[in-house]
Amino acid sequence: MNSLKLIKLEWLKYRHNKAIWLSLLGFVIVLLIIMLAYAQMDVKMSSGPQGGLIDLKKNISFPEIWEFTGYIGGNWIGFFIVGFLGTYLMATEIAQKTARQQIISGLSRGQYLLSKLLFFRNIATILTIFYVVVVLFIGFTKSYDSVGEGIWLTMGWMALRFFVMTMLYIFLGGLFGLLFKKTIMAFLFYLFYGIFLEPVIRWYIHPNFAPESWNRFYPMNAAEDLMPSPGQRISQFDELLQDGSLYLTANQALITSIVYLIIIFTLMYGLMQRKNV
Amino acid sequence: MTVLQTKDLSKNYGQVTALSGLNLSVQQGDVLGILGPNGSGKTTTLSIVLNAIWASSGSYQWFGNQPSSQSLKRVGALLESPIFFPNLTAIQNLDIIGHIRGVKDRNYDDILYMVDLYDRRNHKFSSYSLGMKQRLAIASVMLGSPEVMIFDEPTNGLDPKGIVDIRNILVGLAQSGKTIILASHILDEVEKICTQLAILNQGKLLAHGHISDILVAKPILELSAANNDLLLDWIQRLPGYRRHLRIGERFQVFFDKVDQGLDINEHAHRAGHSLTHFQWIQPKLEDAYLKIIENGRV
């Protein structure tokens, strides 16, 4: 069965699934509401030791809006919605045994997994399109500086970063879904890992066995650093003065995330091959 | 042609042996019943050959080849309970199975008529009764007219009418010449549908062959003589002889055709045998089945 047929298979399965469509719709609505609300604010804040004021409205002007919207849409809304979709899509099929029915009907385990990962890719693509549309809409209608070549020059690069971040979140969710079989358990573990476990490992366990600067290369952190917070960009200057950085550069984050995608895919493939469905 | 062949197939769950060294073959056109009490290894066997679970040891072949997803496209299967997407209709669910199997004709009306689901074809699977779910599962098994159809406990949990409906469908399929494997713990069900029988208990194959050979309903001659070794030769030359069992000092003789007029005692006497025991036994199917299960052998 080729990739197109596998994509069609997922379409046949999920085209009437409200949870998926509501999640996707929820993403774009929540992102739009947050960005519109932010655009209404007119706040200036201190930039730290150097003094001076930073105009927060700059976050919704090109080119900063790409990173800012990516941070809100990816690291906050996307982290929850995409993680949920990853765990839900993988765990429900295992728990309800529809995965088994497809395998005994003639789908190989590899094809089953590939169909799911292709569907993950499609979701990541849809969310990336939403992200780009929201950025362009807010940027052109709400910013005071909506001209210049920066609008289009950075679009492809930022869309790629957002896409890879979304892929990493959904793959992690899918991996936990495959391991835990129950959506709620898998999603709770996904949240637990992202919010608590990985930071604890990075800051308290990792320094005991590896150079501290390597602690930036953990999966959730790599995904987060693809779209860093505006505050992070400000503090980066201070960190660099201290001859070190807490954060991955965009290039480092991209490469690290792609490596994790390959590792997670390999793990899922191995699990699927050995699993009794 | 051998459709399915298992060789020393075993499955362990930790210390528990679910299946032990199963050697089974299914020929094209066979209607094989796999009979055994709950937990005897029926579903485990089917799950392994359908690639749902891995065997701990042993192997199996479909159509003379190593198992693959391609070979499973020639097999329609219902394993345990009917499993479909609850938020999809009968047609949408069948379309998914049809897409996987590469079924060209995506008109499901005929098949839904056959299982009496046509009127509910656009209703969601979650709204179906258990009987309707079973019927949809049977429709999915028949989809694309696969060479082999497998049914695992297809009447589980159904009311009497539902059981009759499902059985009628299965009898019709069996008469159409398809290779069918039916796993059940209900003797009556297997007897009505199947021609071949495999009996499993505690993961072991106790009997495998033609159903009338295993669940013998014909009278069995039980006898013994002073010299059993000599008697055996005489037994094997009796008219209608099929096979025998030696149980302790006695023989049980099974016949293809019982000659009611034959005076065994006199016949033995003329052949120079002095019978010490002689009795015709009229077995019931259930007795034969239970005896096999209890003795652990035929």
pLDDT, tens only, B60-82: 999 999 988 888 889 999 898 88
A132: Cβ–Cβ under 8 A, 6 or more apart, which residues?
A: A155, A159
CB contacts of B99 in chain A (<8 Å) are 5, 8-9, 12
Q: B168 and B65, same structural domain?
A: yes
- ipTM at complex level: 0.85
User: In which region does residue A245 sit, left (phi positive, over 0), alpha (psi from -120 to 50) or beta (all else)?
Assistant: beta
Terminal Cα distance for chain A, rounded: 20
Q: Which residue has the higher pLDDT, A239 or A214?
A: A214
User: In which region does residue A27 sit, left (phi positive, over 0), alpha (psi from -120 to 50) or beta (all else)?
Assistant: alpha
Beta strands in A143-216 (DSSP E): none
Q: B96 and B235, same structural domain?
A: no
Identity of the residue in B79, B99, B101 whose CB atom sits nearest the CB atom of A12: B99
**Is there a contact between A96 and B79 if contact means CB atoms under 8 Å apart?**
no
**Is there a contact between B83 and A96 if contact means CB atoms under 8 Å apart?**
yes
Q: Residue B190's CB: how many other CB atoms inside 10 A?
A: 25
**Is there a contact between B52 and A105 if contact means CB atoms under 8 Å apart?**
no
B140 has a pLDDT exceeding 90:
yes
Q: Is A2 exposed, middle or buried (CB count within 10 Å of its CB: 0-12, 13-18, 19+)? A: exposed
Q: How far is A12 from chain B (nearest CA, A)?
A: 6
B155 has a pLDDT exceeding 50:
yes
Q: Which residue has the higher pLDDT, B23 or A247?
A: B23
**Is there a contact between A108 and B69 if contact means CB atoms under 8 Å apart?**
yes
Q: How far apart are CA A86 and CA A90, in angstroms?
A: 6
Q: How far apart are CA A56 and CA A8, in angstroms?
A: 44
Probe site for chain A from B99, B151, B152 (most A CB atoms < 10 A): B99
Tally of domains in chain B: 2
> Which tens digits make up the pLDDT trace of A41-77?
866 665 555 555 566 777 888 888 899 999 999 999 9
Q: So what's the pLDDT on residue B8?
A: 94
Q: B278 and B254, same structural domain?
A: yes
Mean pLDDT, chain B, rounded, equals 88
Q: Which domain holds residue B124?
A: 2-211
Q: Indicate whether B295 belongs to any domain.
A: no
Task: State the pLDDT confidence band at A150, using cuts at 50, 70 and 90.
Answer: low
Q: Which residue has the higher pLDDT, B76 or B228?
A: B76
Task: State the pLDDT confidence band at A101, using cuts at 50, 70 and 90.
Answer: very high
Q: Are strands B250-255 and B220-225 parallel, antiparallel or unpaired?
A: antiparallel
Task: Find the mean pLDDT for residues A228-249.
Answer: 64
Out of B191, B211, B231, a domain closes at B211
Q: Indicate whether B287 belongs to any domain.
A: no
Q: B115 and B88, same structural domain?
A: yes
Q: So what's the pLDDT on residue A55?
A: 67
Q: So what's the pLDDT on residue B129?
A: 92
A241 has a pLDDT exceeding 50:
no
Task: State the pLDDT confidence band at A140, using cuts at 50, 70 and 90.
Answer: confident
Q: B121 and B183, same structural domain?
A: yes
Q: So what's the pLDDT on residue A243?
A: 46
CB contacts of A18 in chain B (<8 Å) are 87
- Least confident among A152-156, B100-104, B118-122, B165-169: A152-156
For chain A, which residues make up each domain, given as ranges? Answer: 3-274
Task: State the pLDDT confidence band at B298, using cuts at 50, 70 and 90.
Answer: very low
A160 has a pLDDT exceeding 90:
yes
Q: B119 and B88, same structural domain?
A: yes
As a whole number of angstroms, the longest Cα–Cα distance in chain B is: 76
Task: Find the mean pLDDT for residues B11-34.
Answer: 93
Task: Find the mean pLDDT for residues A244-260.
Answer: 88
Q: Indicate whether B104 belongs to any domain.
A: yes
Task: Find the mean pLDDT for residues A25-29.
Answer: 95
B→A interface, C-beta within 8 Å: 47, 50-54, 68-70, 72-73, 75-77, 79, 83-88, 92, 95-97, 99-102, 140
> Which tens digits make up the pLDDT trace of A181-224?
889 999 999 999 999 999 999 989 998 888 888 888 999 999 99
In 3D, which of A76, A36, A28, A29 has the Cα closest to residue A230?
A76
Q: How far apart are CA A266 and CA A261, in angstroms?
A: 9
Q: How far is B136 from chain A (nearest CA, A)?
A: 13
Three-class DSSP category at B151:
strand
Q: How far is CA A277 from CA A108, B51, B52, in A?
A: 12, 9, 5
Tokens of A4: 């197109």
pLDDT over 70 percentage in chain A:
87
The structure's pTM equals 0.83
Q: How far is CA B118 from CA A127, B110, B204, B214, B244, in A?
A: 39, 8, 41, 40, 51
Q: Indicate whether B31 belongs to any domain.
A: yes
Whether a cis peptide bond, with omega within 30° of 0, leads into A228 is no
Q: Indicate whether B297 belongs to any domain.
A: no
Q: Residue B38's CB: how many other CB atoms inside 10 A?
A: 8
Probe site for chain B from A101, A112, A115 (most B CB atoms < 10 A): A101
Q: So what's the pLDDT on residue A236?
A: 55
Identity of the residue in B52, B92, B101 whose CB atom sits nearest the CB atom of A103: B52
Three-class DSSP category at B252:
strand
A149-153 contact pairs (CB < 8 A, 24+): A150/A62, A150/A63, A151/A62, A151/A63, A153/A63
In 3D, which of B9, B8, B25, B4 has the Cα closest to residue B208?
B25
Q: So what's the pLDDT on residue B279?
A: 87
Which H or E run includes B42? helix B42-49
Q: B191 and B269, same structural domain?
A: no
Task: Find the mean pLDDT for residues B219-248.
Answer: 86
Q: So what's the pLDDT on residue B217?
A: 63
Q: Indicate whether B290 belongs to any domain.
A: no
Q: What is the dihedral of CA B84, B89, B91, B97, to 10 degrees?
A: -20
Whether a cis peptide bond, with omega within 30° of 0, leads into A63 is yes
> Which tens digits make up the pLDDT trace of A164-175?
999 999 999 999
Q: So what's the pLDDT on residue A81?
A: 95
A36 has a pLDDT exceeding 80:
yes
**Is there a contact between A8 and B99 if contact means CB atoms under 8 Å apart?**
yes
> Which tens digits make up the pLDDT trace of B102-125?
988 878 999 999 888 999 999 999
Q: Which residue has the higher pLDDT, A240 or B79?
A: B79
Q: So what's the pLDDT on residue A42?
A: 67
C-beta of residue A78 within 8 angstroms of C-beta of residue A165? yes
Tokens of B74: 């020639």
Q: Which residue has the higher pLDDT, A276 or B140?
A: B140
Q: B207 and B235, same structural domain?
A: no
> Which tens digits make up the pLDDT trace of B197-209?
999 999 999 889 8
CATH of residue B260: 3.30.70
Q: B194 and B66, same structural domain?
A: yes
C-beta of residue B251 within 8 angstroms of C-beta of residue B231? yes
